[in-house]
Structure 1
Amino acid sequence: MGFILLYSLIVLLVVEISVVLMRATGLDYDIARFQVVSLLTGTGFTTRESELILGHPVRRRIGIFLILFGAFSLAVVISCISAILAPDVHLVQLTVAATALLVVFVIVRSPSAGRFLSKRLSGTFRQSFQVHELSIREVLLLRENDAFVDVPLGEGSGLIGQTPDRLCDEFADLNVLLIRRGDVAIRDRRMRTPLEAGDVLYVYGDQGEIERRFARELREKRKSEEDEKQAASPV
């Protein structure tokens, strides 16, 4: 029983320390905790937030450790019964490991350590990794009101027949980076390409200007996503 309690404490401390490190890279607490548990258990990692882990070099390293630690922990759980019955369960060594992790957890939860980790993990790593290794959030969303949005054009969109250069001239802080038309990605002539129903615009700029210019299209997009969720719901 002592073995089970000590190892459970070790797993709990690994989770809490990993959550602190994930938050230091800029993740929200709820997302950080969910993704840490998902990585450790190998379940539930197919959420949209998982892209925040895969697209970030530091978070990927933490994720690799959690996956490996989770696989090791599964082997420990499977052999737990035999370990309890064995005369030598190495409780002293396990106690030392749990104590060491507890010390690390107390240190990383301190305010000074939190500020240090946030500076190291969410700021200076940009100097050590190339742009293609980083997620869109780290590369483009530098200010609170920055946004990168995909805008699908439905049959009734008033933008059909217009060209993106008119949109960008009307709103200064709005940039159309790409037009996706079926399987074709239009980049080089995107600003002078007349828009068609079914096109998807990838827009970068000020969140407010994007919401104002594409208000109708974004409402239809959200409604479509909500309809898909309701259709997929078993209730």
Structure 2
Amino acid sequence: MIAVFLFIYIVIILTVIEIFVILFRLTGLKVEISRFQVISMMTGTGFTTKESELISGHPIRRKLATFLILFGAFSLAVIISSISEFLSNGLRTKEILLSAASVLIVFGILRQRHVQKHLSNLFNRKMKQNIELADLPIREVFLKNQQDTMLFLTIYQDSQLANCTIRQVLPDIDALDLEVVFIKRGDAVIRKKVYDSPLHEADQILLYGNKQVMFETFQHDMEIMEKH
């Protein structure tokens, strides 16, 4: 009987995982990332910092994550208490089967395309109503595809940009698929006329744009930065 209970419990857990994979996917998170993060949160094993920012920095995903973490903790307590009850008084199979059936029904409903479309619209509507752009992680806002990237480029004495303006070194900068967001000089941040401001040693420039174009354009300076 314990084996039957454990089997049903595993079915419930796997179904809950798939339910939340669907919910996270409807918020815009990739399926493979969603599944790994859901399992990590349910088991309480922690999850990678880079990917966790996609969840902790997103208000709707954060609420889903909170439920998952609590569910993982409570479900472990439930299985321990249920086994203890079985050993002492016998287990109530009916209640377990009803719980499993309920979870499977919810999963079946969420698999329906029209339900997913409705939930996706609901999530997007809540985002538009309650969430400011600053509340979202950088990757959500800027890195829309695999070709996009952001990079802090540090200027050194032997960098080709040192003591020059970006436009002097790259006259065709406006035609390239990249942007210089700002120049960081100590505690100061320069946002105006970034292409025409002379760059000093130890300056940092925040670059955003096509990864390949960026690496080809600033290859020399990036190699120098890596050496340091």
> What's the CA shift for 1:148?
4.4
Paired position in structure 2 for 1:210:
214
Equivalent residue of 1:48, what SS?
helix
Paired position in structure 2 for 1:100:
102
Paired position in structure 1 for 2:204:
200
Paired position in structure 1 for 2:6:
4
Instruction: Return the alpha-carbon distance in structure 1 between the equivalents of residues 199 and 30 of structure 2.
Output: 37
Of 154, 178, 182 in structure 1, the residue corresponding to residue 182 of structure 2 is 178
Structure number, greater radius of gyration: 2
- Give me the CA root mean square deviation: 3.1
> What's the CA shift for 1:207?
4.5
Instruction: Return the alpha-carbon distance in structure 2 between the equivalents of residues 48 and 199 of structure 1.
Output: 26
Instruction: Return the alpha-carbon distance in structure 2 between the equivalents of residues 12 and 87 of structure 1.
Output: 28
Of 50, 68, 83 in structure 1, the residue corresponding to residue 70 of structure 2 is 68
> What's the CA shift for 1:99?
0.6
Instruction: Return the alpha-carbon distance in structure 1 between the equivalents of residues 99 and 223 of structure 2.
Output: 53
Q: Unpaired segments of 5 or more residues in structure 1?
A: 225-235
Paired position in structure 1 for 2:17:
15
Equivalent residue of 2:29, what SS?
coil
Equivalent residue of 1:86, what SS?
helix
Equivalent residue of 1:194, what SS?
coil
What letter corresponds to residue 28 of structure 2 in structure 1? G
Identical counterparts, % of pairs: 39
Of 81, 86, 90 in structure 2, the residue corresponding to residue 79 of structure 1 is 81
- Is residue 2:106 matched to residue 1:134? no
> What's the CA shift for 1:69?
0.7
Instruction: Return the alpha-carbon distance in structure 1 between the equivalents of residues 142 and 64 of structure 2.
Output: 23
Contact 2:178–2:213 (CA under 8 A) maintained in structure 1: yes
> What's the CA shift for 1:97?
1.7
Equivalent residue of 1:203, what SS?
strand
TM-score between both structures, scaled by the size of structure 2: 0.78
Instruction: Return the alpha-carbon distance in structure 1 between the equivalents of residues 52 and 34 of structure 2.
Output: 10
Contact 2:24–2:34 (CA under 8 A) maintained in structure 1: yes
Q: Tell which deviates more after alignment, 204-213 or 42-51.
A: 204-213
What letter corresponds to residue 186 of structure 1 in structure 2? V
> What's the CA shift for 1:59?
0.9
What letter corresponds to residue 32 of structure 1 in structure 2? S
Of 47, 50, 55 in structure 1, the residue corresponding to residue 49 of structure 2 is 47
Instruction: Return the alpha-carbon distance in structure 1 between the equivalents of residues 213 and 207 of structure 2.
Output: 11
> What's the CA shift for 1:114?
3.5
TM-score between both structures, scaled by the size of structure 1: 0.76
C-alpha change, 1:49 and 1:199, in structure 2 (3 Å) is farther
C-alpha change, 1:48 and 1:220, in structure 2 (3 Å) is farther
